Amino acid sequence: MKLAGLKSVENAHDESVWAATWIPATETRPALLMTGALDETVKLWKSDELTLERTNTGHCLGVVSVAAHPSGAIAASASLDSFVRVFDVDSNASIATLEAPPSEVWQMQFDPKGTTLAVAGGGSASVQLWDTGKWKLIATLSIPRPEGPKPSDKNSSKKFVLSVAWSPDGKRVACGSMDGTISVFDVARAKFLHHLEGHFMPVRSLVYSPANPRMLFSASDDAHVHMYDAEGKTMVAALSGHASWVLSVDASPDGAAIATGSSDKTVRLWDLSMRAAVQTVSNHADQVWGVTFRPPGGPGPRAGRLASVSDDKSISLYDYS
């Protein structure tokens, strides 16, 4: 289990790169890496050479989140002014523009079947579910407020929702908030189930284990990565090692490892069976906002790939084996 650097693109964007995800391969092309940055553009890159495929413009403020449909045909990008642009990957034709009040769009993710787009609703303390056929809002999963006004009540801005993740079976949605709690929802009934506690600073990134629909990984500003049994409300392990905020986490397709990116400018690879960091990559010069594993499938080399993006405007690609 290791990462080997393949390629780095310095100044891939003109400004800090904030978001990255892989667009799954289709029959006609291999998987693409999609990045979003403060320079208001979204760029698509061909692996492994990281050649620039296209630059999408159109956002008015920095791009905070990008998401790819599991079919690989469409993708979505969201900027600080909370416009979500949904576009066709191969033609860059706009399919839909979803609008929300600013500060109410952060992380986004398509569900595993591709019928729903979940959007972490920031200050609205909720997760919005959009139908991907008609592009209509189908549900808003709100985090219930604590009952009654109490003197030390956590006000609503503390429930600011930053991150969202679908369970691999598509039945659950988890979202992470600024106060460190993670909320789990039952999608079919659109019902709040419970909180997962353990972090006490914002949870910036969440991902379910692809191998195990109960296992959830969370990355938080308290410099820890937690493993949760998301159904049993139990924290299973806390992985410590980062020296600063953990900004991003992704699980490898084989479910044996996770990778994290942090404000301490490093990317770490964690072996889940050992529950320890097996490798620390420190080729970025500034905080690492996104790490993402390439999903399996499609033509081309089958080897595992991990990409990381950072405030230093660069993109790095690693071989994961």
Partner 1 sequence: MLKSGEEHEEDLEKQRAAVVELRELEKSVEANPDDPFLRFNLAVCLWERCECKEKAAEHLVVAVKLNPQNATAFKYLGHYYYEMEKARALKCYQRAVSLNPDDFESGDALCDMLDQSGKETLELSLCTEASQKSPRAFWAFRRLGYIHLHYNRCSEAALGLAYQKLGMFTAATKSYGRAIELEDRRVFALIQSGNIFLTLGNFQKGVEQFQRALEISPQNVSANYGLASGLLAWSKECMNMGAFRWGASLLEDACKVADKIAQLAGNFSSIWKMHGDIQLNYAKCFPWIEDDENVEFDVETFHASILTWKQTCYLAATSAKKSYQRALHLAPWQANLYIDIGIASDLISSMNENYGQDQHPWQLSEKMVLGALLLEGDNYEFWVALGCLSGYNALRQHALIRGLQLDVSLAVAWAYLGKLYREEGEKSLARLAFDCSRSIDPSLSLPWAGMSADSQIRDMTPEEAFESCSRAAQILPVAEFQVGLAKLALISGSLVSSQVFGAIRQAVQKAPHYPETHNLHGLVCEARSEYQAAITSFRLARSAIISSGDTSKSCLQDIAVNLARSLSKAGYAADAVQECESLRKEGMLDSEGLQIYALCLWQLGENDHALSVVRNLASSVSAMERAFAAASVSFICRMLYYISGLDLAVSSILKMPKEFLQSTKVWIVASAIHALDHSNRLALAVSSSQYSLLSHDEIIEKHYLTALANLVFFFIFFAATLTSDVIFEWELLVLGYAIYQCILLCRWAVQVKHGSDYCLGFQSGISHVKNALHSYPNSNLLRNLLGHLLLSCEEWKETHVASRCCITEAPNCASKQGLKSGCEILGAGAVACYAIGNVDPKFSYPACGYQCLNGPGAVQELQKYMHQEPWNHRAQYLLILNLLQKAREERFPSNICVILERLILVALSNECYSRESMSYQYQKFQLLLCASEISLQGGNIAGCIKHAKNASSLLIPNNYLFFGHLLLCRAYAAVDDYTNLRQQYIRCLELETDYHIGWVCLKIIESLYNVESDSKISVLSFKKCLKEWKKSLNMWIAVFNLVLGLIYLWKEEYFSAEESIAQACSLASSESCLFLCHGVACVKLARQFCSSDYLSLAVNSLTSAHANSVIPLPIVSLLLAQAEGSLGLKQNWEKNLRLEWYSWPPEMRPAELFFQMHLLSIQSESGLKTPSRVEFCQSSLKWVLRAIHTNPSSLRYWNILHKLME
CB 249 within 8 A of CB 203: no
**From candidates 13, 69, 224, 305, binder to partner 1 by CB under 8 A:** 224
**From candidates 15, 53, 90, 271, binder to partner 1 by CB under 8 A:** 15
Handedness of CA 113, 165, 300, 42 (dihedral sign): positive
| Among candidate residues 3, 19, 37, the one with its CA nearest the CA of residue 266 | 3
Record the tokens describing residue 51, joined without a space.
């050649």
84 binds partner 1 (CB under 8 A): no
**From candidates 199, 268, 284, 313, binder to partner 1 by CB under 8 A:** 199
128-147 residues in contact with partner 1 (CB under 8 A) are 146-147
90 binds partner 1 (CB under 8 A): no
**From candidates 51, 133, 186, 200, binder to partner 1 by CB under 8 A:** 200
254-273 residues in contact with partner 1 (CB under 8 A) are 263-264
Site stretch for partner 1 (CB under 8 A), options 110-118, 131-139, 184-192, 210-218: 210-218
Q: Cα–Cα distance between 306 and 171 in angstroms, integer?
A: 27
Q: Cα–Cα distance between 109 and 116 in angstroms, integer?
A: 9
Residues forming beta bridges with residue 271, ordered by sequence position: 257, 276
Quick note: the x/- pattern for partner 1 over 53-82, rule CB under 8 A, is -------xxx-x---------------xxx
178 binds partner 1 (CB under 8 A): yes
Whose structure tokens read 């579910």?
Answer: 129
Question: Could you tell me the CA-to-CA distances from 279 to 8, 78, 167, 242, 292 in Å, in that order?
Answer: 18, 32, 27, 12, 16
CB neighbour class for 149 (10 Å; exposed up to 12, middle 13-18, buried from 19): exposed
| CB nearer partner 1, residue 49 or residue 153 | 153
| CB nearer partner 1, residue 9 or residue 196 | 196
SS (H, E, C) 16-31: CEEEEEEECCCCCCCC
Record the tokens describing residue 63, joined without a space.
């791009």
| CB nearer partner 1, residue 71 or residue 240 | 240
210 binds partner 1 (CB under 8 A): no
**From candidates 48, 53, 231, 319, binder to partner 1 by CB under 8 A:** 231
Q: What is the contact surface with partner 1 in residues (CB under 8 A)?
A: 15-16, 18, 38, 60-62, 64, 80-82, 101-104, 106, 122-123, 146-147, 150-152, 155-158, 160, 162, 178, 197-200, 211-212, 214, 221-224, 226-227, 229, 231-238, 240, 243-245, 263-264, 275, 287, 311
